[in-house]
Amino acid sequence: MADETTDQPGTWLTHKAYDRLTEELEHRKGAERKAIAQRVEAARQEGDLRENAGYHAAREEASLNEARIATITEMLENAQVGAPDFDGSVTAGTIVSAKVAGSEQTFALGGQEITADVPDGVKVFSPDAPLGRALMGHRAGDTVSYNAPNGRQITAEILDVKAL
């Protein structure tokens, strides 16, 4: 686990999100891995593996599980966990209200892993997305412009910034 600040590289996670991911990792490495191995073996017992759809599906499930294990492991090893230092500026772990292209929106900045930790109705945007990058470090009252993926220049006025 990395430092408990948002100045270090890595995914910012709440303590709850970190605990959820740790629990998911243990489940995938233990019970899920064992259950998938049993499905692979049961399908293998059915005979010719070249035309055994159950076997191929079980192997695909095993591959997806191993990929998720690797993803979670890397994320947890490099995670920034805890409440970010809040100085009123936009950082990962803040909830931002902004007028974006004339439309008022409220969203949290962080990875999808924190979705369960934000208030109902608040979407989560990546700090690495164009809007997130443009807002980082700015404060309520600031207006920023950024290039959207479609090439349009978009203006965003920050109305409010709160810690998550």
- Residues 25-61 pLDDT 10s: 999 999 999 999 999 998 888 877 777 888 889 999 9
C-alpha angle with apex 144: 139 to 149, nearest 5 degrees? 125
Domain 12-81 -> CATH class: mainly alpha
Pull the structure tokens for residue 141: 């009252």
3-state DSSP call for residue 157?
A: strand
The CATH number given to 94-163 is 3.10.50.30
Confidence class for position 110, pLDDT limits 50, 70, 90: confident
pLDDT, one tens digit per residue, over 119-140 is: 888 999 988 899 999 999 999 9
Pull the structure tokens for residue 161: 């910034």
What confidence score (pLDDT) does residue 68 get?
Answer: 95
What confidence score (pLDDT) does residue 133 get?
Answer: 93
pTM: 0.66
AA letter at 121: G
Strand partners of residue 107: 96, 123
Pull the structure tokens for residue 110: 């962080």
**Helix 15-27 vs helix 53-77: crossing angle, to nearest 10:** 140
Confidence class for position 9, pLDDT limits 50, 70, 90: low
